[in-house]
Amino acid sequence: MMFRDMRRKRQALPQQEITDILRRGTSGVLALWGDNGYPYAVPISYVYDGGKIYFHSAKSGHKIDAIQRAAKASFCVIDKDLIVPAEYTTYFRSVIAFGQIRVIEDDGEKRAAIQKLAIKYAPKDTAANRDTAINREWKPLCMLEMTIDHVTGKEAIELARERQKSNH
């Protein structure tokens, strides 16, 4: 068994919704093989380009050490967490991707990746301003690329019922 099936299949999100969530999310939690057997789950900004997920990072630290120890990671984005006290539940929606991370070494690839990230978070900036900001941070900047091996999305049963109704 490489990747598990979702036990509650009715709550699984369609591929298009997964893609939309990865595009509209502004952060996620990256889970890595940390120190001394402890998983390291670290919040991080990201950009999804329809294929891969890109992150920016410093060149040293717990996160980079963990990635160098093991490329395999999982990344979780929470899209919705609407608490419904009267029902003792949350109407949630989230995505989990499993994949492998590499440090981008090539300068051209590194620039393309940081540009994607910059455009996602500052879409209205001019290309000139963006380049200035990128050049300013260039040296200490490390770009990471996650190739997705498996991705699923899940939502609360109440939201799944709504979706099934609206599909009919």
Ligand X SMILES: Cc1cc2nc3c(=O)[nH]c(=O)nc-3n(C[C@H](O)[C@H](O)[C@H](O)COP(=O)(O)OP(=O)(O)OC[C@H]3O[C@@H](n4cnc5c(N)ncnc54)[C@H](O)[C@@H]3O)c2cc1C
- Contacting residue, 22, 48, 63, 110, with ligand X by CB under 6 A: 63
Return the structure tokens found at 128: 């000139």
Interface positions, 9-38, toward ligand X (CB under 6 A): 27
Does 85 sit near ligand X (CB under 6 A)? no
CB atoms within 10 A of CB 41: 13
- Contacting residue, 11, 21, 31, 57, with ligand X by CB under 6 A: 57
Closest CA to 50 of 16, 26, 75: 16
Tell me whether residue 48 or residue 55 sits nearer to ligand X (CB atom).
Answer: 55
Least CB distance to ligand X at residue 20 (A): 20
CA distance to 3, 56, 72, 118, 120, per residue, from 123 (Å)? 35, 17, 31, 7, 6
Does 110 sit near ligand X (CB under 6 A)? no
CB atoms within 10 A of CB 134: 16
User: Which residues contribute to the site for ligand X (CB under 6 A)?
Assistant: 27, 42-45, 55-58, 61-63
